[in-house]
Amino acid sequence: MLTGRNILLGISGGIAAYKTPHLVRLLKKKGAQVQVLATASALKFVSELSLSTVSEASVFNDIFESNHDDRSDRTLHITLGEWADAMLVAPATANTIARLSAGFCDDMLSLSFITLRPGKPVLLVPAMDGNMYESASVQRNLSVLARQGCHILEPESGPLASGQCGLGRMPEPETIADALEKVLAVRSESALNGKTVLVTAGPTREKIDDVRFLSNYSSGKMGFAIANEAARRGAVVRLVTGPVTLPTPPGVERFDVESADEMLETSRQFFDDCDLFIGAAAVADYRPLAPVSGKVKKNEAEMHLRLIRNPDILATFSAGRRAGQIAVGFALETNGGLDYARKKLQDKKLDLVAFNIYDRRTSGFEIDTNVLTLLNRDGQITELPLLSKQEAAGRLLDTVETLLFR
């Protein structure tokens, strides 16, 4: 998996840096090209000469240093981000984690992190004292980076430099190399790697007046699981979501909307650019014809709401799409059979429909599991067992990948 891969290895200044020449040798032995980017404090723990010798390349640190001339490249900070297939930061100290999460870019490590091409994987290997690792600041910064799509290899427990025993040890180079291979493997095997995916998720809210709306029980879990899985497979993912309380999956670009109209207008901007559109949102079919400004008073015994049809986002995409763009929809029913899903496949001219019965126990809104039946445009039916929504997302995307290949 590492053969011929270009790896940027960022080393920051923790005691575990002493293991990094061994890590470089291991990555090279597996066939990777390694470019070391060390912080100034890393070079107090491990020598530049050792690192340049084992990596067979200059070690970069200062963005203004003259040793960049051996690549005769004045914009090295940008070209490195393009050159790399992946970036590994080991050890990642509390300081470097904070700097990366805040977007600092005053040395080669932080600068290359920012200029790394979108979609390229980053694996961070935090290593520090256990109390530091568990501090609110480090955990907050790591969660920011995880939301940006960085993979994080958890530190191990064991003897620490402080003399104490606990969480914070950097895993051995072999474990780090294995983790990097895994991160690269998922992507390179996937037909979604490098593709652009648009996902709608969650409910929509349709205003009755300024304080009330019509909506449904959709939690967004299925759509978020799909977005998460597509990003993990290396896709550039845009997620347009109605109001939900879920965190943004790592590496996913999220757009929050409220109404069906807003969902259509936001999604429409990305229609041309996507290879795959998955409509997992539970879009309200109707909206109040004339939302009232302010608050409707409760004077009358009865109140009548006039509703009009909302636009169909998936059908709009499907009708206007280019050849090769794939459209996938969901069909959620409280009863009835596959015929309804089949009709939806035909009416909206979809490539795939995921059909599920809303039984409130194992399948449908809010819960974490789903039982999906997949129907594709060739009439093939795949019945999936009871799965977590994350696993169901994986199986759905496996099927979508077979469509992308054709």
191, 281, 352, 392: which one contacts ligand C5P (CB under 6 A)?
A: 281
Q: Which stretch binds ligand C5P (CB under 6 A): 8-16, 128-136, 276-284, 384-392?
A: 276-284
299 CB-near residues (< 8 Å, 6+ apart): none
Query: Is the Cβ–Cβ distance between 205 and 242 less than 8 Å?
Result: yes
Site for ligand C5P in 282-301 (CB under 6 A): 283
Q: Give 234 or 329: the residue with its C-beta nearer to ligand C5P.
A: 329
Look-up of token digits 């984690």: 97
Q: Give 252 or 283: the residue with its C-beta nearer to ligand C5P.
A: 283
329, 345, 351, 399: which one contacts ligand C5P (CB under 6 A)?
A: 329
Answer yes or no whether residue 310 interacts with ligand C5P by CB under 6 A: yes
Residue 146's CB is within 10 A of a number of other CB atoms, namely 17
344, 364, 370, 390: which one contacts ligand C5P (CB under 6 A)?
A: 344
**Least separation in angstroms between CB 248 and ligand C5P:** 19
Q: What are phi and psi of 89, to 5 degrees?
A: -120, 110
129, 206, 275, 312: which one contacts ligand C5P (CB under 6 A)?
A: 312
Q: Which stretch binds ligand C5P (CB under 6 A): 61-69, 111-119, 187-195, 323-331?
A: 323-331
Alpha carbon distance 374, 227 (integer Å): 18
Note if 370 is an active site residue.
Answer: no
Look-up of token digits 């180079």: 173
**Least separation in angstroms between CB 365 and ligand C5P:** 13
Q: Which stretch binds ligand C5P (CB under 6 A): 27-35, 172-180, 311-319, 381-389?
A: 311-319
Alpha carbon distance 367, 359 (integer Å): 10
**Least separation in angstroms between CB 312 and ligand C5P:** 4
Q: Which stretch binds ligand C5P (CB under 6 A): 10-18, 186-194, 210-218, 324-332?
A: 324-332
Q: Give 167 or 307: the residue with its C-beta nearer to ligand C5P.
A: 307
Contact mark string toward ligand C5P, 193..232, x via CB under 6 A: -------x--------------------------------
**Least separation in angstroms between CB 203 and ligand C5P:** 10
> 251 burial class (0-12, 13-18, 19+ CB within 10 angstroms)?
buried
Query: Is the Cβ–Cβ distance between 399 and 375 less than 8 Å?
Result: no
Q: Give 45 or 277: the residue with its C-beta nearer to ligand C5P.
A: 277
Determine the size of the site formed for ligand C5P (CB under 6 A): 14
**Least separation in angstroms between CB 32 and ligand C5P:** 41
Q: Which of 197, 75, 87 has the alpha carbon at shortest distance from 150? A: 87
Query: Is the Cβ–Cβ distance between 327 and 314 less than 8 Å?
Result: yes
338 CB-near residues (< 8 Å, 6+ apart): 355, 373, 375, 381
Q: Give 191 or 260: the residue with its C-beta nearer to ligand C5P.
A: 260
Alpha carbon distance 246, 109 (integer Å): 32
7, 122, 179, 313: which one contacts ligand C5P (CB under 6 A)?
A: 313
Q: Report how far apart, in Å, the C-alpha atoms of 275 and of each of 166, 265, 278, 398, 400 are.
A: 47, 18, 10, 15, 11
Q: Which stretch binds ligand C5P (CB under 6 A): 124-132, 293-301, 309-317, 377-385?
A: 309-317
Q: What is the residue-wise DSSP string for 148-189?
A: TT-EE-PPEEEE-TTS-EEEEEPPPHHHHHHHHHHHHHHHHT
Q: What are phi and psi of 362, to 5 degrees?
A: -115, -15
Q: How far is Cα of residue 313 from the mean position of the Cα atoms in its chain? A: 23
Q: Which residue of the set 95, 216, 299, 356 is catalytic?
A: 216
β-strands 352-357, 373-376: how paired?
Answer: antiparallel
Alpha-carbon dihedral 244, 247, 250, 254, rounded to 10 degrees: 40
Report the interface residues with ligand C5P, using CB under 6 A: 200, 260, 279-281, 283, 310, 312-314, 329-331, 344
Positions marked catalytic: 216
